[in-house]
Chain A
C-alpha cells in the first residue's frame, strides 16, 4: 500500500497500538493483531511527535530543529518511515 505523502498529509496514530520505551527506542504492539514492532530512537521521536495528529511538514520541521540533519534527507527518510508505519497499520494517512 503506497499513499502519496505531501507536506499537508495528516498522520494519525492507530488508537489500538500500545507502545512503551524500550532499548533507546520504542516497542509497539497492535492489540488487534497481536503483532509487535520495534523502532529506533528517531522513530520513537517521530511517534512522540504524533501524540496528536500532525502533518508531514510539522514533523520534518521539528526533526530538522532537533537533529543535525539536512532538510532534504530528513524529508526523504521521514516519508519512508511514515509509509512503513502506514503499511503496517500503525498510522493512518489523510491527504488534505
Chain B
C-alpha cells in the first residue's frame, strides 16, 4: 500500500491514514513496520479478555476507549486501528494515538515507554521523570533554551539488554503548557493545539537527535516547600519503584501479560544508570534556573549549542 502518510517514529517506519503533525518524515519505499488505519472495530472485540475501566486486553492486543473521541485497537506491535466517534477532532485523535496508542504498541515491541522527557549529553541520554505538574515541560524548555539537544518531550522509548539501557527518541516537537509558553517567550503562531480541553501545544524544536543512544542518567523532578534548587542522589533501594511509577500506561503491562518483562526491564534500567533527585522550590523557580541545576550536576556546558 502506498497511500497515506509515512513517518519515522521511535525508529520504525509508520504508515498512517491520519496525518500526524510534527513526526519525522518516513521513507515511502521502506517496509512498513507499523500501520495506523481508520476503520470500524467490532463491539465484542476482546469481549473475553481482561476488562478494566475503559480498556481491555489480552497478550498481544489491547482495546482502549477514549470517551467522545474513539476506540483504538493496538495489536501485535504492528498496527493501531482507530474507530473514531462522531464529532471527534483530528487533534484529539492524534493526541490519543501518539500517547496511549504508541505506548501500548511500544510495550508490545518490548520497548519501555518511559513517561520522561529526555536530552542528549556527550555521554548518553538524560531522562527526566516527575509527577504531572512537577515541571518537566518547563525544565525541558529551559534546557532547550540553554542549547541542549532533545530526544523526546513526553515519552522516551527505553530498551534494556545485558549491555545496558538505550534511549529511543520520539519526534522533534515539544508540548508546553500555556504558562510555560509565555514564560519562555515561545508563544508563536507555529503551534498546533492537541487537546482543546487541557490547552497544550506542540512547538517544533530545531535541536533534535533521532538516533538511539545509551541512557546515562535519570533525573527525578520533585517540588519542595523550601527555597533554592536541591540536588540529592536517589538510593539504590528506591530506584526501581521510582522508575516503575513512570512507565507510561503501566497498567497495560498487566493486561498484556508483560508484567515480568516490565519488571526485569525496570530493574536492569535502575541498575545501569545514575539517578538523582532535583527539588524545585514551590515558588520562584525559573526554567533557566532549573536547567542550570541539571547542566551543572552533569557538567553539560561544553556540549551545549546556544541558539545562534
Contact = CB atoms under 8 A, between A and B. Distances in A.
Interface of A: 18, 20-23, 27, 29, 31, 36, 38
17 contacts: A18-B263, A18-B264, A20-B263, A20-B264, A20-B268, A22-B236, A22-B240, A22-B271, A23-B237, A27-B267, A29-B240, A31-B254, A31-B259, A31-B263, A36-B241, A38-B236, A38-B237
B263 A23 contact: no
Given A20-B264, A23-B271, 10 more contacts: A18-B263, A21-B267, A22-B240, A22-B270, A22-B271, A27-B240, A27-B267, A29-B240, A31-B254, A38-B236
B159 to A, nearest CB: 17
Contacts of A23: 236-237, 271
Given A36-B244, A38-B240, A18 B271 contact: no
Interface of B: 236-237, 240-241, 244, 254, 259-260, 263-264, 267-268, 270-271
Contacts of A29: 240, 244, 263
A26 B60 CA distance: 29
A77 B237 CA distance: 21
A31 B264 CA distance: 13
A96 B271 CA distance: 40
- Give chain B's interface secondary structure class: helix
A24 to B, nearest CB: 9
A33 to B, nearest CB: 12
Most chain B CB atoms below 10 A, which of A22, A27, A29: A27
Q: Which 7 A-B pairs have the closest CB atoms?
A: A20-B267, A23-B236, A36-B241, A38-B237, A18-B263, A27-B240, A27-B267
B240 A36 contact: yes
Contacts of B259: 18, 31
A18 B260 contact: yes
B113 to A, nearest CB: 18
Most chain A CB atoms below 10 A, which of B240, B244, B270, B271: B240
Nearest to A36: B241
B278 to A, nearest CB: 22
A25 B259 CA distance: 21
B133 to A, nearest CB: 23
Contacts of A31: 254, 259, 263
A22 B236 CA distance: 9
A61 B244 CA distance: 37
A31 B240 CA distance: 14
A15 B244 CA distance: 21
Contacts of B264: 18, 20
A20 B261 CA distance: 11
Nearest to B242: A36
Contacts of B267: 20-22, 27
Nearest to B241: A36
A38 B240 CA distance: 9
A53 to B, nearest CB: 21
Nearest to B237: A38
A47 to B, nearest CB: 14
A21 B263 CA distance: 11
